[in-house]
Structure 1
Amino acid sequence: MTLEAFADTILPGEKRFPDDHAVAGVSAGGGSVASGVLEVLAGPEGGLAPTLDDLAEMLNEHAEAYARRHELTSRADLPAFAALGYDHRVALVRELIAPDHEEREAWIGLAMFSTIAFDAAAHLHTTDAIRSGHPGLAILGYSGPDGDGLWRFPSFSYGRALARPHPDTTPSGSPA
């Protein structure tokens, strides 16, 4: 719940259910949590999986200290970071990523993985993510592949071709 609350602070979405404490519900549609941030964080590719429990514990310790400094009432039934209101979560994250914070790199790394889940659906094959309506890819306007599973772009993003295909390029777009 702590890591979901952090990810939702970076890229907020709408609550999944009425008593959702991890997702603050400050944005419509799916944010980082609905985009699969926990799967991305736990995957072996990013290398963060072994540190997730420690990061959650550290984040909750920072949240407890923040709540004491700001005289906020805490909830014993929730992790300290998830218990913070959205504006307080944002304020704490700003402290954690400040240039002079000694743990800055860890929190920026966690924030980057939160955006990767949304922007790239890194834990899914792109066609599967598009087919399932992945919230981040849908919001960003990713189009699906052609019927044969290949992506083709008949109109160039710059309005013109930037280079001619290599003469040995096959019809599938692969180099020979």
Structure 2
Amino acid sequence: MKTEQSYGQLTDNELLRCVTDNDELAFNELFARYRNRLLAYLLKVTRSQEIAEEMVLDIFIKIWNGRTGMPGIEHPEAFLFTVARNKAFDFLRQVKKSRRQQAALWERLQENQADPADKELMRGSLEATIRKAASQLSPQRKIAFLLSRDHDLTYEQIAEKLQLSTNTVRNHIAAALQIIRSHIPPGLDIIILLISLIP
């Protein structure tokens, strides 16, 4: 019979097999092993302890509820962070639909800067960085990116306006974001997730 201490010696795959067999102690160990890491990752995106905590709990609730399908997962760590990443993008897509949520997220991103002038300076600096990077894009990529970011057009709307396929527009914007990412200063990596959300 396994003790709580012995679960700590199991590999992630062994834990997952135990979880599949309805082993709650194995599930508790998996949660303890990854909770803080997933929370730290999601906190970078949401900038909200409460929202990040809810996401982590939701991830593990879904794992427990879907435990019968767990044996097919070969790399538990990669799986968990993929689920967390999908949660992060779901969150950002939801933020994009709400100007109020965008403003709240922007405030959380800068909550360590008490001076409003500093906040505005940071935002202006970031905007200048994005514009400078965008100016180096090919004309079609630049137009596609700005139509998405500044005019909030969907890929389909941009495709119709530029007479391109939706896939071509998607590729243009993905390439534009990759180039812009390379211009974002270290420490502001999360901002790249927001540059197409905050006007």
TM-score by length of 1: 0.31
- Comparing both structures, which one devotes a greater share of its residues to helix? 2
TM-score by length of 2: 0.29
